[in-house]
């Protein structure tokens, strides 16, 4: 009787957790769509002079995408720590902890950008286009890429040594680029019932799959390195002006 009650309580908790996760994903996807649509619509509708004169407008444009970025990375980091998952093997441990460091770095860059980027005057039209059109889209896209890569380090994800899944890999990357609103949960790699998987308990990856993962990682790192460079350049210029005065 007690065992049955405990099992039912556990199933109820699991169902409640899954429901909360579903609500979170829906809310996050809505915020992502709003951030991209709002920034692009603002860029197309308003005069470019208003961006330079109104810091609140600049803040409103980058607030949603960078907030979504920071929240998602912190959520992924929290999920990794809460899972109590211990990676096996030196290479797997290095990869796992490296991704956790990346999550922290990307979250810090996102928060810093919310504070620093609106202060900059966005003096030319190229800056306005970068911050209001290109930045929101690529920030959201990079979040999905990093979320997918991060999933590959977890215990529940397995990769298989088959070449036909290369098509799925390419379709996943193209779909994320074209439709960044979709959650990375739908693109997780799962183990498939193949002869190779039945012969071995551990999954192996092909060289081409590893190359794709490296490309995804480089794209995400490049995006946030660019944002960090813009922030540091602006802070350095501000410091130089103070010394001149």
Q: What is the pLDDT, as a whole number, of residue 183?
A: 47
Q: What is the pLDDT, as a whole number, of residue 29?
A: 72
Q: What is the pLDDT, as a whole number, of residue 126?
A: 81
Give the rounded percent of residues in the chain with a pLDDT score beyond 70. 58
Mean pLDDT over each residue of the chain, to the nearest integer: 70
How sure is the predictor about 203, in pLDDT bands with cuts at 50, 70 and 90?
A: very low
Q: What is the pLDDT, as a whole number, of residue 4?
A: 53
C-alpha dist (Å) from residue 60 to 118, 122, 142: 9, 14, 20
C-alpha dist (Å) from residue 57 to 43, 52, 53, 118: 11, 9, 9, 8
How sure is the predictor about 21, in pLDDT bands with cuts at 50, 70 and 90?
A: low
Q: What is the pLDDT, as a whole number, of residue 112?
A: 92
Pair of tokens at residue 229: 């460079």
Domain spans in the chain, listed from the N-terminal domain onward = 2-244
Is residue 227 within 8 A of residue 109, CB to CB? The reply is yes
Q: What is the pLDDT, as a whole number, of residue 104?
A: 92
Question: CA torsion sign, 28 to 33 to 36 to 38?
Answer: negative
User: 227 or 202: which carries more pLDDT confidence?
Assistant: 227
Q: What is the pLDDT, as a whole number, of residue 109?
A: 93
How sure is the predictor about 107, in pLDDT bands with cuts at 50, 70 and 90?
A: very high
Give tens-digit pLDDT for 29-61.
Answer: 777 778 788 888 888 888 878 887 888 888 888
Give tens-digit pLDDT for 148-194.
Answer: 665 555 544 444 434 444 445 555 556 555 555 554 444 444 444 44
Mean of pLDDT values over 60-89: 83
Of 204, 227, 206, the C-alpha closest to 136 is 227
Q: What is the pLDDT, as a whole number, of residue 15?
A: 58
Q: What is the pLDDT, as a whole number, of residue 143?
A: 77
Instruction: Name the residue with tokens 């556990």.
Output: 10
Sequence-ordered list of residues with C-beta below 8 angstroms from that of 68, at least 6 positions apart, any chain: 28, 31, 32, 35, 139, 140, 143
Q: What is the pLDDT, as a whole number, of residue 172?
A: 57
Instruction: Name the residue with tokens 């909360």.
Output: 20
Give tens-digit pLDDT for 116-154.
Answer: 888 876 777 888 888 888 888 888 777 776 766 655 555
């Amino acid at each position: 009787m007690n065992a049955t009650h405990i099992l039912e309580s556990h199933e109820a908790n699991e169902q409640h957790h899954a429901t909360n996760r579903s609500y979170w994903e829906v809310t996050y996807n809505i915020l992502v769509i709003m951030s991209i649509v709002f920034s692009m619509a603002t860029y197309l509708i308003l005069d470019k002079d208003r961006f330079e004169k109104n810091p609140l407008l600049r803040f409103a444009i980058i607030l949603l995408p960078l907030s979504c970025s920071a929240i998602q990375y912190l959520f992924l980091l929290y999920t990794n720590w809460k899972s109590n998952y211990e990676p096996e093997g030196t290479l797997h441990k290095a990869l796992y902890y490296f991704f956790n460091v990346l999550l922290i770095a990307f979250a810090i860059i996102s928060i810093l950008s919310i504070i620093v980027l609106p202060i900059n005057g966005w003096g030319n039209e190229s800056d306005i286009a970068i911050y209001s059109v290109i930045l929101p889209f690529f920030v959201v896209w990079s979040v999905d890429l990093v979320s997918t890569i991060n999933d590959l380090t977890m215990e529940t994800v397995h990769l298989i040594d088959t070449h036909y899944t290369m098509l799925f890999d390419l379709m996943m990357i193209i779909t994320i680029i074209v439709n960044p609103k979709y959650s990375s949960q739908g693109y997780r790699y799962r183990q498939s019932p193949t002869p190779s998987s039945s012969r071995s308990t551990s999954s192996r990856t092909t060289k081409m799959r590893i190359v794709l993962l490296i490309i995804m990682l480089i794209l995400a790192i490049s995006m946030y390195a660019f944002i960090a460079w813009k922030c540091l350049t602006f802070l350095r210029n501000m410091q130089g002006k103070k010394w001149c005065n």
